[in-house]
Amino acid sequence: MHALNVIQLDGLLPIDIAAGRAHVCIVTSDLEVACWGNNGNGQLGIASITNIGNQPGEIGDVHGIDFGAVDAVSVSAGKDTSCAGFADGSSRCGHAAPAPARAARA
């Protein structure tokens, strides 16, 4: 049986949480969004497709995603999608891009 790891939030509290197929996002009490898990389709909303926290001891301290001066108030997640809702009524999502066209077989 594997023990669950505690995720350090630097004294912050989660105020909203959403889980996708293999990733999780939270809104912290300072109104930032933090996500971790599988990111192969960009669902973590960061500037890469690097997975975060999919190996033991890899998460470390979770840090918020920089959305500028807008405060996050909610998160939602789907299979390979995550969205954050903001206090100004806007939203932003990270999700799977359409698959590239596959070459026809000869």
**Residue range 41-84, pLDDT digits in tens:** 888 888 788 888 777 766 655 567 777 778 999 999 999 899 99
Give dist(CA 86, CA 83) in Å, integer: 10
Q: What is the pLDDT of residue 105?
A: 39
Nearest to 82 by CA among 36, 31, 25: 25
First-to-final CA distance of the chain: 49
Give dist(CA 30, CA 9) in Å, integer: 11
16 pLDDT tier (thresholds 50, 70, 90): very high
DSSP state of 53: S
Q: What is the pLDDT of residue 8?
A: 66
Half-sphere exposure of 48 (CA within 13 A, CB side): 5
- Least reliable range by pLDDT among 3-7, 32-36, 39-43, 99-103: 99-103
Residue spans of the domains in the chain: they are 14-93
pTM: 0.77
Give dist(CA 36, CA 17) in Å, integer: 12
Give dist(CA 15, CA 30) in Å, integer: 9
